[in-house]
C-alpha cells in the first residue's frame, strides 16, 4: 500500500522523489508490473480484499494472454490490449465483465481496477464507455 501511495504521489507531483533519482511519474505499465510481480507472489496480499480480487483477476488475465498469443498471428501476449481487431475488442470487454464480477465479492479491488488496469487500454474509448456503463449499472442496482 505504501508503494501504491508513493506511486500516486509521483504521478500527481512530478519530481516528488527527485532526490532519489525518480523525476518522472510512474507509468501504468510500471504499476501493473509491480502488481503482477509482487502481489501474485506475496502471502501478505492475500490478507486484503483488493489483493484477493487482483489474484483472481490475474487468472482471467493469463487466459486473455494465451488467447492473444493464439489469435494474434504473431504470438504476442499483449495484442489483445492494443489491437483494433474485433476479437481483441471483445476480449477487453470480457475482461471488464470479469473484473466487475470479481468486484462483487471483493469491493476493494475496484480501486485497483479503476486506477491501474483500465488505464492499460485507455486509448479504447468504447471499452472505457463500457466500463462506465457497468460501473453505473452496478451502482444503480445496489452492488458497490
Number of domains in the chain: 1
pLDDT in tens, 37-85: 888 888 888 889 999 999 999 999 999 999 999 999 899 998 998 888 8
| Residue 18 belongs to a domain | no
Any alpha helices (H) in the chain, and if so which ranges?
A: 2-12, 28-34, 49-71, 79-82, 86-105, 109-112, 118-120, 125-140
Residue 55: give the domain boundaries: 26-140
pLDDT in tens, 93-125: 899 999 999 999 999 999 999 888 988 876 667
Residue 85 phi/psi, 5° resolution? -60, 145
State yes or no: pLDDT of 6 exceeds 80.
no
State yes or no: pLDDT of 16 exceeds 80.
no
State yes or no: pLDDT of 143 exceeds 80.
no
Confidence of residue 28 (pLDDT cuts 50, 70, 90): confident
State yes or no: pLDDT of 10 exceeds 70.
no
| Residue 11 belongs to a domain | no
State yes or no: pLDDT of 144 exceeds 60.
no
Written as nine digits, the cell of 33 is 508490473
Amino acid at each position: 500500500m505504501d508503494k501504491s501511495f508513493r506511486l500516486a504521489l509521483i504521478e500527481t507531483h512530478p519530481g516528488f522523489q527527485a532526490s532519489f533519482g525518480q523525476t518522472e511519474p510512474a507509468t501504468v505499465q510500471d504499476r501493473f508490473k509491480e502488481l503482477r510481480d509482487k502481489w501474485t507472489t506475496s502471502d501478505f496480499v492475500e490478507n486484503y480484499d483488493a489483493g484477493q480480487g487482483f489474484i483472481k483477476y490475474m487468472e482471467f488475465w493469463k487466459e486473455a494472454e494465451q488467447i492473444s498469443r493464439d489469435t494474434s498471428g504473431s504470438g504476442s501476449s499483449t495484442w489483445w490490449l492494443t489491437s483494433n481487431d474485433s476479437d481483441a475488442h471483445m476480449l477487453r470487454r470480457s475482461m471488464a465483465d470479469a473484473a466487475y464480477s470479481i468486484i462483487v465479492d471483493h469491493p476493494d479491488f475496484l480501486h485497483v481496477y479503476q486506477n491501474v488496469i483500465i488505464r492499460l487500454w485507455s486509448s479504447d474509448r468504447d471499452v472505457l464507455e463500457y466500463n462506465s456503463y457497468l460501473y453505473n449499472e452496478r451502482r444503480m442496482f445496489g452492488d458497490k
